[in-house]
Amino acid sequence: MKHLVNNYPQNNLELGFSFNAFGAILSTLDEMYGVRGGRGLAMRAGRETFKYALKEFMPVLGIADLAFRPFPLGMKIKIGLEVFAETFNKFTDQIVRLEQDTTSHLWIIERCPVCWHRQSESPCCHLAVGLLQESLFWVSNGKNYRVSEVSCVAAGDDACVITINKKPI
Ligand SMILES: [Zn+2]
């Protein structure tokens, strides 16, 4: 991916950055820094992605002030997750749907760029985990949520499933 050094993709809504490139970069992180080091960097990248990319979207989506609206926290989290999922489905080739059980929201990525064309012994979509953590931190006005990936296409599962505890830590 040398051609991307100091030559970032255009900051626009065209689908100009391929899942192949995305998966390859994240796979290389693990190869270069080991599984633990790669995980830390990918999560950090996910958190930064929220700050730099998704936050720009908030005014467009009409939820720039969601964190400050007088709704119960649980409702804000639910609205935030629904809008984030819609945003991915509408503006990217990623396919996300939401489910929930009594304790958690389930963020189910049916077509996932993070582990695209990767193979892994354990779930490896850490960038998606970091991005969700940061978005929840933002929506909740500074609370941390337990976010963990429980199944992953790269590890042979049907979808990448990330659980989000409904109660903050
Ligand atoms: Zn994945």
Q: For 119-159, write each residue's pLDDT tens digit.
A: 999 999 999 999 999 999 999 999 999 999 999 999 999 99
Kindly give the distance from the C-alpha atom of residue 30 to the centroid of ligand 1, in angstroms, as a whole number. 14
Ligand 1: centre distance to CA 9 (Å) = 22
- 71 Cα: distance to centroid of ligand 1 (angstroms): 32
- Average pLDDT value over all residues in the chain: 93
Q: Mark out the alpha helices in 50-142 (DSSP H runs).
A: 55-61, 73-91, 126-139
* DSSP per residue, 131-167: HHHHHHHHHTTS----EEEEE-GGGT-SSEEEEEESS
Name the pLDDT band for 19 (thresholds 50, 70, 90).
Answer: very high
- DSSP H or E segment with residue 37: helix 19-49
Lowest pLDDT segment from 43-52, 120-129, 158-167: 43-52
Indicate the DSSP class of residue 98: E
Tell me how far the alpha carbon of residue 81 lies from the centroid of ligand 1, in angstroms: 17
DSSP 8-state symbol, 6: T
Whole-number pLDDT of residue 85: 95
Cα R_g (the chain), whole angstroms: 16
d(CA 68, CA 157): 38
Length of the chain in residues, anyone?
A: 169
> Do residues 149 and 125 lie in contact, with contact meaning Cβ atoms separated by under 8 Å?
yes
Distance 89 CA to ligand 1 centre (A): 15
In this prediction, residue 75 carries a pLDDT of 94
pLDDT of residue 86: 92
Average pLDDT for 12-30: 92
10 alpha carbon – ligand 1 mean position (Å)? 24
Task: Find tokens 């051609």 and name the residue.
Answer: 3
Check: pTM over 0.85? Answer yes or no.
Answer: yes
CA distance 112 to 6: 26
Q: What six digits make up the tokens of 115?
A: 């582990």
Q: What percent of the chain has pLDDT over 70?
A: 99
Residue 58 Cα to ligand 1 midpoint, Å, equals 24
The average pLDDT across 85-108 equals 96
The predicted structure's pLDDT at residue 68: 83
Strand partners, 164: 105, 147
| 85 CA → ligand 1 middle, Å | 15
Instruction: Look at residues 96, 73, 81, 94 and name the one whose alpha carbon lies nearest to residue 135.
Output: 81
Is the per-residue pLDDT at 73 higher than 90? yes
> Residue 45 C-alpha to ligand 1 middle, in angstroms?
15
Distance 159 CA to ligand 1 centre (A): 7
Ligand 1 center–CA 149 separation, angstroms: 9
